[in-house]
């Protein structure tokens, strides 16, 4: 198995045996790349040999480059390299014979992500989608003559195309009249069609099958929760899939011959990167819980239990020292029920509390270690954390998600206010020691809280948050700009509306002490968004600390930087919310 890990201090490529040693221990991993300033973001193995294709970017720019490396003997070599161009990975990279790979590229026009096929034997490439738009590669047909791709038309309308490699013919297979999300999945071994995920006509994402000869889709799985990951065994018998139930992942297999469904035994957490081994006997996946960072697990079919083959380090902190979040719910201003995860310290007496706001906003607060590591530290210092899934969050149906479209700083800010009111109604919360924290959209919402709801907060941490929606919409990456009017607003025709929703407009009202953290190379929320907020706060004489990472983008790729950022945030909140 090959995977990406930052155990070297940077995201690099590693390989590891999937079975355990005779003593029951996992085998030691082997490092395949030794990047320091570049970060490996995704990797794909050849179906016929030991070659690996991976995508990496430099200092967080998100202009990913494409590399090839032998998994057992070799040094990574760039296949395409242009630091000014973004190359996007597909869902499946290699053709069945291992000769070709596909990827997206915006070399011709920054706003268009076209789909390319690269011949590894001849070193040549050609474009399959020679038209405007944003295309994401899907899966190769078993004979290698066709492939699928997704076209992102709008944030709520994603189409699937079937492309003939030789004739370059493109046929749209998702119904044009259906405004829904369609994402291609794996093909059946006989090439008769492919699986796909979609929310067509439904609140939640299900699995369907597209019959190529009939040109029709047929539902396969329609649970009342979102299906997230799908994998198919090479013989086409077993379909493995994960379902998002209240933020937790459930892992299932469906025997396509007998129709039998089984739920597999896994921990309570979140699963990603689902894979079935080539012999169909094992399922591999990445899993994280509120108490454990992401690790790779391998589960033997049909009745096995998952074995962990990696060891993400927590510095020997016992899991029993950490808390399991409680799922709570509260009502917002219009009666809408808002689910939230509560991390509450053990013990009695009045406690400080943090309201943590997830990014996206089309995302979900889930019980993972991504932010729960920070939460667990704060809990150990006697500070509770409430992390709500406000309107606009995914996982609760598309109607719930769409409530935030063109309404940033509207209904969701009221949801957040009712979250802090819920905290204040708890007899164990000290109302004088309330903080707010968030990154990306969560950073925007944090800035909205301290500027538009200033009376609640003693301290706030904003990481990479937009402060001015007009300048934010104008400076996002070019291929994103087509969606900004739908999601946020049009900076040319709705300038007053966007300013009315912008934290920078209300900066005079800030009372909380603040920490702002920013990556200098951030392509999504450019540094100027934090600069202008810090400048105005300092002009007003407000207390604000500003930390800039010159070698990071939207998030952290270097482990040392990640530690510095989380330490700064944790210590700031712990200090400012300490009991008098």
Please indicate, yes or no, whether the overall pTM of this predicted structure exceeds 0.85. Answer: yes
Q: Is the peptide bond before 468 cis (omega within 30 degrees of 0)?
A: no
What residue has token string 């929703």? 501
> Residue 317 pLDDT more than 90?
no
The answer to whether the CB of 89 falls within 8 A of the CB of 44 is yes
Domain locations along the chain: 319-576
- Residue 383 pLDDT: 97
Mean pLDDT of the chain: 95
Q: How many Cβ atoms are within 10 Å of 27's Cβ, its own excluded?
A: 12
Residues 232-258: tens digit of each pLDDT: 999 999 999 999 999 999 999 999 999
> Residue 176 pLDDT more than 90?
no
Average pLDDT over residues 191-220: 96
Q: Report helix angle 559-576 to 369-380, nearest 10.
A: 40
Instruction: Write the DSSP symbol of residue 25.
Output: P
Binned at pLDDT 50, 70 and 90, residue 131 comes out as confident
CATH number of 319-576: 3.40.50.1820
Which of 126-135, 489-498, 520-529 is least confident? 126-135
Please give the C-alpha separations between residue 9 and each of 63, 151, 293, 498, 563, in angstroms, as whole numbers.
21, 35, 15, 40, 10
> Residue 204 pLDDT more than 80?
yes
Binned at pLDDT 50, 70 and 90, residue 81 comes out as confident
Residues 255-310: tens digit of each pLDDT: 999 999 999 988 899 999 999 987 888 999 999 999 999 999 999 887 778 899 89
Give the H/E segment covering residue 559: helix 559-576
């Amino acid at each position: 198995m090959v995977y990406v890990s930052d155990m070297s201090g940077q995201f690099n490529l590693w390989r590891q045996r999937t079975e355990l040693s005779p003593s029951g221990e996992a085998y030691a991993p082997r490092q395949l790349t030794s990047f320091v300033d570049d970060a490996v973001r995704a990797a794909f193995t050849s179906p016929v040999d030991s070659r690996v294709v991976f995508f990496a970017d430099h200092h967080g720019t998100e202009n990913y480059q494409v590399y090839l490396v032998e998994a057992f003997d070799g040094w990574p070599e760039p296949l395409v390299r242009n630091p000014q161009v973004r190359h996007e990975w597909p869902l499946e990279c290699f053709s069945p014979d291992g000769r070709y790979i596909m990827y997206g590229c915006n070399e011709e026009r920054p706003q268009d992500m076209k789909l390319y096929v690269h011949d590894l034997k001849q070193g040549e490439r050609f474009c399959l989608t020679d038209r405007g738009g944003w295309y994401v590669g899907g899966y190769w047909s078993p004979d290698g003559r066709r492939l699928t791709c997704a076209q992102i038309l709008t944030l709520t309308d994603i189409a699937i195309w079937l492309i003939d490699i030789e004739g370059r013919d493109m046929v749209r297979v998702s119904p044009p009249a259906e405004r829904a999300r369609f994402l291609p999945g794996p093909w059946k071994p006989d090439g008769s069609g492919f699986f796909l995920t979609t929310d067509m006509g439904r609140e939640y994402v299900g699995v369907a099958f597209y019959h190529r000869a009939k040109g029709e889709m047929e539902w396969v799985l329609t649970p009342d929760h979102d299906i997230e990951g799908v994998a198919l065994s090479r013989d086409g018998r077993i379909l493995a899939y994960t379902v998002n139930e209240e933020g937790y992942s459930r892992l299932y297999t469906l025997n396509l011959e007998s129709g039998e469904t089984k739920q597999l035994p896994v921990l309570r957490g979140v699963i990603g990167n689902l894979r079935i081994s080539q012999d169909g006997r094992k399922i591999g996946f990445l899993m994280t819980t509120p108490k454990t960072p992401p690790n790779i697990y391998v589960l033997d079919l049909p009745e096995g239990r998952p074995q962990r083959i990696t060891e993400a380090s927590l510095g020997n902190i016992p899991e029993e020292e950490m808390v399991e979040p409680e799922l709570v719910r509260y009502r917002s201003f219009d009666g809408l029920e808002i689910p939230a995860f509560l991390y509450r310290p053990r013990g009695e007496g009045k406690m400080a509390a943090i309201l943590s706001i997830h990014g996206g906003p089309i995302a979900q607060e889930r019980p993972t270690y991504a932010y729960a590591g920070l939460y667990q530290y704060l809990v150990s210092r006697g500070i509770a954390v409430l992390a709500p899934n406000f309107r606009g969050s995914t996982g609760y149906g598309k109607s719930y998600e769409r409530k935030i479209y063109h309404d940033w700083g509207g209904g969701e800010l009221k949801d957040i206010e009712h979250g802090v009111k819920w905290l204040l109604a708890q007899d164990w919360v000290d109302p004088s020691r309330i903080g707010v924290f968030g990154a990306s959209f969560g950073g925007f919402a944090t800035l909205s809280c301290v500027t538009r709801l200033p009376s609640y907060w003693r301290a706030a941490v904003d990481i990479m948050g937009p402060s001015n929606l007009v300048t934010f919409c104008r400076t996002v990456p070019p291929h994103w700009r087509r969606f900004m009017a739908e999601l946020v607003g049009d900076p040319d025709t709705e300038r007053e509306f966007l300013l009315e929703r912008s934290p920078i407009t209300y900066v005079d009202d800030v009372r909380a002490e603040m920490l702002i953290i920013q990556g200098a190379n951030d392509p999504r929320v450019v540094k100027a968004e934090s600069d202008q907020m810090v400048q105005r706060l300092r002009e007003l004489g407000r207390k604000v600390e500003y930390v800039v990472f010159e070698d990071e983008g939207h998030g952290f790729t270097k482990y040392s930087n990640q530690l510095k950022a989380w330490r700064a945030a944790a210590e700031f909140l712990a200090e400012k919310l300490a009991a008098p």
